Amino acid sequence: MTILQFFLWSLLKVAVVTVVMLMGIAYTVLLERKLVGRIQNRWGPNRVGPFGLLQPLVDGAKSFLKEDLIPSSVNKPLYLLAPIISLGCALISIAVVPFGDPAIGPGGMHLFQISDVNIGLLVMLGITSIGVYGIALAGWSSNNKYSLLGSLRSSAQLVSYELALGLSLVGVVLRAGSLNLRVIVEQQASNGILSWNILGGFQFVAFFIYLMAAYAETNRSPFDLPEAESELAGGYNIEYSSMKFAMFFMAEYGNMITVGCVATMLFLGGWTSPFGNLIPLPDNILVHALVPIFWFVLKVFSFLFLYVWVRGTLPRFRYDQLMNFGWRFLLPLAMLNIVATSLWLVNR
């Protein structure tokens, strides 16, 4: 494969994944509105298009067409840069995710992964960690006390729960012996659901820690303190309008999808079937390509469903409860899980 062909294939994969990701963000918002509506015994969006399926397109157009106001007292370069950082990190992190069985394409390229990096897990954690700068800069550059309080809350919350989230993944890395996401998934592929790390790897405690930390990392209820309307009138994004305001929420839902992808790959077997090899696939290239993607998308969808279910069920924590839960419970529990996993691997 020539350099030009390699560049064109890579560009095509980036374009397809970006479009799918943006559509996923739009329809995750619709999923949340519909599910929360059902939880609260109402319909949710149902007017625009059949069953309300065109609602995300209308909401996107509305965000573009709204008046874009920039307060006179803001630090304009950083004010404009903040939503770009947040959304950019949410989109870039998906580049190392293997969505399906890494069938080899033209010139030895992986069709269902933009970049197969040996330290893919570290790349994802690093990129998503940078996203906090978008929120911090948004609050500081707005020159508004409520925005600043929201960004300070968010910075403290994300730094605190980033520790527990990172440590919860150490047990999975120890068991797989690799930071390559494709290798971690393939290590869970032998016996179906019994080989998944959440069961066969005895990482159910790590999965619980990851789940709680992920809620806090994505500012989702019951950990949505950075944008608590009743206390901060909107938090770090109070001075933003139009599409810049929408970009922060696109970043939030993009991070939800990324978190679901990481949970799927590290704990739920990635693209592998829960039945293992008990149900062999027919000898068809298209089936072998699409069925793994189906299992991957179904697992991510289940994770997003759980996200929305928790939002519609649990009330918001107080801030002191939020910090105590992260530092005094999740962090020690994550360290104990690393010790227990290490002892289990040595003595098995």
Instruction: Supply the pLDDT for residue 109.
Output: 66
Rounded CA-CA distance 165/184 in Å is 17
pLDDT number for residue 79: 92
Residue 240 near residue 138, CB atoms below 8 Å: yes
SS3 assignment, position 81: helix
CB 140 within 8 A of CB 204: no
Which candidate, 87, 81, 110, places its Cα nearest to that of 21?
Answer: 87
- Cβ–Cβ under 8 Å, residues 296 and 264: yes
CA-to-CA distance for 45 and 38, rounded, in angstroms?
11
Q: What is the mean pLDDT of each run of 10 residues along the chain (348 residues)?
A: 78 88 91 90 87 88 85 89 91 87 66 82 88 88 85 85 91 88 86 82 88 88 74 76 88 90 90 78 74 90 91 84 91 93 86
Furthest CA-CA distance within the chain: 65
Closest CA to 261 of 98, 117, 136: 98
Stated pTM of the model: 0.90
The CA angle 104-260-160, to the nearest 5 degrees, is: 125
Query: Rounded to whole angstroms, what are the CA distances from 200 to 81, 172, 299?
Result: 44, 11, 17
75, 122, 241, 251, 267 from 82: Cα distances, Å: 11, 23, 13, 11, 32
pLDDT given for residue 229 in this prediction: 63
Q: What distance in Å separates the CA atoms of residue 214 and residue 218, rounded to the nearest whole number?
A: 6
**What's the pLDDT score for residue 264?**
92
* d(C-alpha 27, C-alpha 23), whole Å: 6
pLDDT for 103: 65
